[in-house]
Amino acid sequence: MPEYDFVVVGHSHAVAFLDGVTDWRKHIASTTHLPSDPRYSDAFQGWFSGAFPDESLQLQVTEPGLRSRRILARLIPRTSALNGAAEYVQHDGQPKLLIQTQFLDFLKGLPANVPIVSFIRGNEHARQMLGDLPRYDFLEPEVAGLDPAADAVPIDTIFIDQVIDTWLSVTLPTLAAIRAVTGERVIHILPPPPRENPQSAGYFEKVGAIVREHGFAPDAIRLKWYRRYCRLLSMALGLNGCEVLPPPTETLTKDGFLKSTLADGLTHAKLDYGKILARAIEEKIRSGK
Amino acid sequence: MNPYHGYPPPQFWRANADAASLMDADIDFGKKFSFSSDDKFATAGSCFAQHFARRLKGAGGSILYSEVRHPLIPVSQDHGYEVFSARYGNIYTARQLREMVDQALGVRPAIEDFAIRRDGRVLDLLRPRAIPLGFSSEAEARADRAFHLRAVADMLRQLNVFVFTLGLTEAWVNAADGYCYPVLPSTLAAEFESDGYRFVNFTINQIVEDLQAAVEALRNVNPLARVLFTVSPVGLVATAEPRNVVVSTALSKSVLRVAAQEMTGRHAFVDYFPSYEIITSPLSRARFWAEGLRDVTSDGVDTVMQIFFKSRMPGTSQQQAQGEVGGGTAPEALAAAITEECDEMFLDPSLRSRRPAG
């Protein structure tokens, strides 16, 4: 029997999952001594200040409804050397995966025959939720229609994809490196979608000033960016032998937004989302596909 | 009594021939109106018209841009912005102008003629070189065209002065529906070859009728708009008539010049600026022709604009206008730039082969 049911590697989107089903808070230094940052909820106090540990944690699963018992988790805080530790470079006209030594060592040290669950990045699309751009729209097959407003500039998707490519250029090599070095099953957890009613968010994180000045992009735009990003990322990951897990249906509104009851601030989810997601992860691992 | 007694010097050939320079010849004598730096200009027409907008802007004139680059569209992408007031690309013929105005103002439905290039990109055949990148899908091309036409309508409603440079009488039209292409699609790419195109050489009556319809439509939505016609001095790359291209060029330019004069005579709000004569008349001693004898040199464009500013916008800085020419680049570079922007170049396979791919 492997020592761990699965490995978790990721950024801030892992917090909801870890808070929901593990004892990870016991393993990190208390953040109560830190000055409270009013931009974030309690769950994210410390995350953005670098107070969270930059090391692997051996965690117990505390949620009784789950089969999994032990998880090896490695969060990658913003200050971690593991950020941006893999990239594609051109070599003889071909893309070549370049992996920095620290990340390579970390990957080589992961347990064998244990699936890896990735929460790598995932909030890139959130920048586009703000209303600070002149009105525009673009076609996205998964979200019908174009803004009928006369002043909504139709943006060709080649330009949208150029923006998304810059996001993928960080996430994709990281995951490709994980898969290539470990040879293990890699399941990337797609981030939660934009939340419904963002104006009702309790925390506006780093963009409060922009929100106050410009508000939010139309719902359709927020959803289009998210869906297109997820679709392109999923395709690219598939080509690199990685699987993806979309947000559980029960966490979404009928229009596909993250239910506000499950949203933490503007860009993350709460531990209740993590609990639902944990069941979907187990199901995904068990299904073997 | 000799009626010529007392006529001002510009009306005598000798006075022009004896003038120290073209600038002194008052070649724009007889103009109806001048402009101020507060006037909002919209420009359209053949490739020569592009330089008008560029230099007018450089001299502190106000160019109306009704389609501006969205921040999501990289500056590095040639996507048709700020070449003309909207992204219509070169409009060579009066028919093209009329059709664009009619579509924009809802007189006729939008003409949607798209074609898929070999690289999968979708071209709008009514402005293929305005947006050389094309579109990712026909739906996006259609959406962009609808937006573009709304922008043209806005432009027509907001402009104070519409400057239109007449370029050609020869054109290719859609055989089934009769609408006009800026350039024969099959010259853009082999995959656009079709027998669905028909050659037309518009007559003076047709051109005047088209210009009349276009300016009437403009004035209907913008009763104070003024129109300034010019005729491009740039010759035809090729003629589809069975005669020498030099002869066809002379005929085309003559017809266009007459059409412009006819419109000027009909309407107080329409005037003509003699950029054509500045370049082609004997007063210039043929010194404004670039190598190849078809395009106009940087000096030629400079001179046209300096005369324009002196005659029509005396408050603007001619020095600044001059300094704006090609951003200080060599005349050859400017001539190349003129060539670069001309859809017409696609008519001559030998020139086409020298163009960058795509």
Q: What is the pLDDT of residues B200-245, one digit of tens each?
A: 999 999 999 999 999 999 999 999 999 999 999 999 999 999 999 9
Positions of chain A with pLDDT under 50: none
How many Cβ atoms from other residues are within 10 Å of residue B299's Cβ?
15
What are the chain A neighbours of B140 within 8 Å (beta carbons)?
Answer: 138-139, 154, 156-157
Work out the pLDDT band at B331, boundaries 50, 70, 90.
Answer: very low
Distance CA B298, CA B329 (A): 9
Q: In terms of pLDDT, which residue wins out, B325 or B198?
A: B198
The ipTM assigned to this model is: 0.90
- The owner of tokens 């309508």 is B153
A81 token code pair: 């050397």
Q: Is A160 near chain B, with CB under 8 Å?
A: yes
* Chains A–B, number of C-beta pairs less than 8 Å apart: 44
Amino acid A101: pLDDT = 95
Which SS3 state, helix, strand or coil, does residue B82 take? Answer: coil
Distances (CA, A) of A123 to A69, A127, A128, A250, B25: 29, 8, 10, 21, 67
A-chain residues near B78 (CB < 8 A): none
pLDDT, one tens digit per residue, over A49-101 is 667 888 999 999 999 999 999 999 999 988 888 998 899 999 999 999 999 99
pTM of the prediction? 0.89
List, as one string, the DSSP characters of B158-205.
H-SEEEEEE--SEEEEETTT-PEESS-HHHH-GGG--S-EEEEE--HH
Would you say residue B337 has pLDDT above 80? no
Q: Residue with structure tokens 């929460």?
A: A119
For residue B330 the two structure tokens come to 């060599």
In chain B, what are the domain boundaries?
34-66+76-345
Please identify among residues 124-153 of chain B the ones whose CB lies closer than 8 Å to any CB of chain A. 133, 135-137, 139-140, 143-144, 146-147, 150
Backbone angles phi, psi at B191, to 5 degrees: -70, -10
Instruction: Please report the pLDDT score of residue B350 as a whole number.
Output: 58
CA distance A133 to chain B (A): 7
Please check whether residue B41 is in contact with residue B56, taking contact to mean a CB–CB distance below 8 angstroms: yes
Q: CA nearest B342: which of B353, B352, B357?
A: B352
Percent of chain B with pLDDT over 70: 88
As a whole number of angstroms, the distance between CA B316 and CA B238 comes to 38
Are B241 and B199 spatial neighbours (Cβ–Cβ below 8 Å)? no
For B169-197, what is the mean pLDDT? 92
Residue B72 is nearest to which of A136, A146, A150, comparing CB atoms? A136
Q: Give the model's pLDDT for residue B167.
A: 96
* Alpha-carbon radius of gyration of chain B: 20
Cβ-contact B92, B106 below 8 angstroms: no
Contacts with A270 (C-beta within 8 Å, 6 or more apart), sequence order: A16, A19, A43, A262, A263, A264
Please tell me chain A's helix, strand, coil percentages from 3-state DSSP, rounded to the nearest 5.
40, 20, 40
Can you give the pLDDT at residue B317? 58
Is A140 strand, coil or helix?
A: strand
The domains found in chain A, sorted by start residue, are 6-287 (3.40.50)
Structure tokens that stand for A101 in this block: 């030594």
